[in-house]
Amino acid sequence: MAKLLHIPANHTQRFTLHNEIHARTPVSLTTPVRASHLALTVSPQERQQEREHLNNLCQRFGVIPPSNQANHFSAGFDNFTFHWEQHGEFSTYCFYVNQVDSNSPFAKTALEQAPIDWLDKLVGQSIVAAHAVIMPCPEQQPSSAEISDYFEGNAVVGSKMTGGDAQAFTDFRIHNDGFSRFIILDKHLQIEQAGRLMQRLFDIEVYRVMALLAFPLSHELAPKVSAAEHCLSKLTTEMAQENCDDKKLLDQLTQLAAEVESHISNNQYRFGATQAYYKIVEQRICDIKEDKIQGIQTLGEFLTKRMQPAVNSCHSTAKRFSLLSERISNASQLLRTRVDITIEQQNQDLLSSMNMRAKMQLRLQETVESLSIVAITTYIVNLFHSILVSLESTELISIKPEIISGASIPVVLICVAIVIRRLHKVIKNIDD
């Protein structure tokens, strides 16, 4: 017995992530078998209602329902096998019955075994509905006409698959009953191979339709992105002209940017989903390992030819919006730079004007100061003269007051100027 070793505490998601590789395993099928596959788009608000409806089916047949966290479920019921999977935007329901009439494989369907009242209350909207059968391959290779008879005379596509162990055919059309059809001719399929092959064909059918959900949106948005590109071209032309109204142009660019970003945010998920779904289609086509049958187009050739232009159109529209957003951003940045330069120039002009006014004020102040020196000198000299006149009346001085006052004017003027200059220096030192 192996010795148990102590390891650190497990990460909270360790077992969930470890077991994810075993999730959504295909149902093992004993051939011959017929199947009906439904894919229904389900909104987030309908998820709980979908689980409750699934639980009702399990209760009706006495089967333990899946847990609330499960996103896939398989079980055997009275006369059919049931498989359910929940995906991001849709859920799939598949019904299997081990009875096939080789002469008329679609006369009876596996869906007929499910309760009608339960089917009528399925949650969501049908995006894909398909019937498929796996039946023994005849000893003689059937002709294209014989295979076409199973599809109401429509042209079919198909190939050898899984290394030649089976051949699969379809016409990729919705028939009068509202279902598309697949026929798999079994040569040497194992039960696991049969389940995987049928699941991959159903995946191709579902994901190719889901990938094209953005195609009508692409057609709807193409005129809008063209109009936005034309508007941007017009605005950039106006930007190159002299004497244009930068503020008006910036407002128009801002409004255009808001419209483009709104389209991007509203539709980015849909265009991104198209690329993701198309990659799944390509992967499933690779998984079935097609070998060409002479005279019949393979599924991969058919889907690539028909889907690639639509997917490219969606990608082109999304890329045009992305590039347009970048161009608007560049134009806005250029215009803002020009506006900033204009504002800076205006500020420079304003500062120059303020500097000129400051110089004028300084000169005026110097003039006023000169006048104030003269006024103070006059006042002091007049005061000194009055004193001298008083002294003359008392005969204390013999020199006329006018002579002394006149001689004192230069001295008083110089002293006043020195005092005022020192006072200016003191005030300047206080400001510093």
**Cα–Cα dist 74/92, whole Å:** 12
Q: Average per-residue pLDDT in the chain?
A: 87
Q: Is the pLDDT of residue 14 over 90?
A: no
- State the Cα–Cα distance between residues 51 and 71, nearest whole angstrom: 10
pLDDT of residue 122: 95
C-alpha pair distances (Å), 19 with each of 10, 12, 16: 14, 13, 5
Q: Where are the domains of the chain?
A: 24-200, 214-348, 361-431
pLDDT value of position 6 = 66
Mean pLDDT of the region 98-115: 90
Please determine, for residue 431, whether its predicted confidence score (pLDDT) is greater than 60. no
What confidence category does residue 357 fall into, taking pLDDT thresholds of 50, 70 and 90? confident
Judge whether 184 and 167 are in contact, CB under 8 Å.
Answer: yes
> Does 3 have pLDDT greater than 70?
no
DSSP structural state of residue 245: -
Please check the confidence at residue 404 and state whether its pLDDT lies above 80.
Answer: no
More confident residue, 292 or 402: 292
The residues pairing with 74 across neighbouring beta strands, listed in sequence order, are: 83
The CA radius of gyration of the chain, in Å to the nearest whole number, is 46
Query: Which pLDDT does position 5 carry in this prediction?
Result: 59
pTM listed for this prediction: 0.78
- Whether residue 82 contacts residue 118, with contact meaning beta carbons closer than 8 Å, is answered with no
Phi, psi values for residue 152, rounded to 5°? 60, 35
pLDDT tens per residue across span 242-288: 777 778 888 888 899 999 999 999 999 999 999 999 999 999 999 99
User: Is residue 4's pLDDT more than 60?
Assistant: no
